[in-house]
Structure 1
Amino acid sequence: MDFEIRENRGKPTGRRMTRERAAYFQLMEQGYSTREAARIVGINLRTGKRWRNGHHSPSRGAKAVPPIYQLPEPEEPPQPSRYLQEHDRIHIADRLREKTSVRQIAAELGRSPSTISREIRRNCRVMPRGGWTYQPFHAHRRAERRRPRPKTGKIGQNPELRDFIQNHLMIRWSPEQICHALRARFPGRPEMHVTHETVYQALYVQGRGELRRELTRSLRTGRARRRPHRQSHKRSSRAIKNMVLISDRPAEAEDRAVPGHWEGDLIIGKDSRSAIGTLVERSTRYVMLVHLPNGHNAIATRNALASTVQTLPPHLWRSLTWDQGSVMAAHRAFTVATDIPVYFCNPASPWQRGSNENTNGLLRQYFPKGTDLTAHTPEQLAAVAAELNSRPRKTLDWETPAERLAKLLDLAS
């Protein structure tokens, strides 16, 4: 010891026993008991215990003193994560050296086998002389380098792919139609294949800049951001005399096997002062637009429809399905003039005319809401209908409505 043992062990004199405390700790580290170290240094046993264990409620306003030997805090178990952690990769490497199967490793880690297989494939290290090895720390570093966001997506990395998508969006193709066309046109080039969700992400997600923002106007909805579906407001039914409901329509119209059954509706312009009639054939999805220059009351609608149906052979007009709007109040006169029966949907049931409702949504790209629809000539309506009929449709196995109708006309001839 480099100090003298205290002889006076009475009341403390008020000085700090810094040297004695250091000696006490040194003796404790050398293996002396608390009692023996206190006796050698010349302090009270209780003081030694306080030095050893610390005290949390000190007197005279002094700060709390931690114990000399603090117990290590128990390590918390690793929290589950959607990403593989370093200890997971160490476990994978150990089990691979033991020739354990991927499915067994996945079961031990509580992961999908495809997750483990993909981890090994992505992060293994290729050896110079052939073969590969999985090194957990190297794999973890590679995974951490790939994780930062945002990243440049597949569309942004490929100018040819980006130009193809942008050009077809400008002619109002949907992302799903574009993606199918890419696979059909470039079957052996996977770098030119994307899903329609990738296209939507490139348009909607901020910060990517893969596709021009203004191209969102070419989408069906024209929205620059996504919006959740909302329940449509139900409309009250209008009483029309002598209605025949859709439940009495021939069964052949329901399964779309026989062509010639049509669905119809109006799209309304600004302040309900103008309208365009829309007709969709259920089997081929062929679209016809009806020009209504003289208003859209019951008489004007009947006359315009009767003129439009004369452009196709009679065998392609077997029935017409409409909603319960007052514009078809003259349905009996229409049937007498054209020999085409009219069936009415149930109230607030637009899904019973699903093809027509979908077509009306497509047409709003050309005829936005709140505009005057009388400004469009019959020639312009025919051009819009031709453009829609030349688009490939998924429901037609990516044929166009015009191609399907041409086949029907060829068979009839």
Structure 2
Amino acid sequence: MKHPSIPKKNKKPLASKPRPVQQKASHARRLIKKQKPVKKKITQSRAKITESFYGAKKPFFVKEFGDKSEYNNGYDRTAQSLHSEAFEKFVEADKEYFQRTGLNIDVNKSNARRSIRRQAELYTLKRWFGQGNPTDRPGHSLHNYGLAVDLIRTNENTLVEIMGNHGWTREKPHEPWHFEFTGSDAHGRAKNKINDLKKSNSPTTKWWNAMDNKFKKEKELESRTETYELQLSDYNAGFDEYDEWEKLYTIDVNEFNAWYKELEKDLVAHNQEVANHDKLVKQGNTWLAQIEAMEEGDAKDRELAEYDDWKARMDRDFDILNGNADTIDADFAWAEGRALELDNEFTQLEERLVELTELGNSLNGEFDALKVLEEEIKNLEHKADALLNELEVLVQNI
């Protein structure tokens, strides 16, 4: 008689595992904002000049071909922003130009005095975004000092001659529309100031370094943010897969434990049947001894016949019990294999959780680094802005 006695594999369902990754990693996409350069639309339009501004006279942009000896006072009002000496000479040039051509000198796109911030904007667009025309750094252009204008060239030879008569000359052959006021000491002072601002420790150079560093960091931030979001997506998808896997594993463990409990009940019932069978066998052996002690005769023969019937039933029960024992042995053997499979799967789950934890920790570190990079960009913007304020003051003192 077989008596299976296989110890139970105590496979409990997996306890819920807290994710080691902080919540901020799974919501980082909302927190991180890509730092993209703001491309402001540049609008340059001349302010409207109403007829009432001139009284009974027509606006300056209306061509007058009447009495050229009487100046129409229609100079381009953009010129009012120029340095005082430059403005005075510009009006004189406009008057002479009108008297000779019947036209006023037109400033191209309102390019007379240009603020430091406007200069910085134009330079930034060209240097870091490839838009617009080449221009000087803030503080390096005579426009910033009110000592330069860009003109629409009508009757060009006459225009150049008249502007030269009043201290306005072309200083940049590659920019024939550009005139600088060289007819006063202010031009020399501005040139000296520009040379100073070209030095390595000047506010202009510091501004350029801050802006260049800012745009490099913004490019880095954009690239790293894109990589971060891809990794974050993989991380979240990986944890979703892990959760689903863990649920299925828990179901398998619960089903195995329930089945194993039933197998143990079968084992207990089988062992009880074996014990009962053994008790009956002992009783049968005692009965047989009593029969053998009887005198020969019909009574003994009847007892022997009855014993033989009983023994045949016991033998059948014995065969059934042995068959049950074989089935229970096979079930326990299968249980050993299934328990090993679940052990291996549990190990794989733990290894996957470690991988996801490491990725989550890496993402949290990158998230913090991206926030630091964002803060560095903001600080560089503030620094560049402060340097432009400093330059605004410097260019006024000419």
Q: Could you say whether these structures have the same fold, taking a TM-score greater than 0.5 normalized by the shorter chain as the test?
A: no
TMscore range, shorter length: under 0.3
Please say which structure displays the higher CA radius of gyration. Answer: 2
- TM-score, normalising length: structure 2: 0.19
More helix by share: 2
Larger relative contact order (Cα-Cα within 8 Å, sequence gap ≥ 6): 2
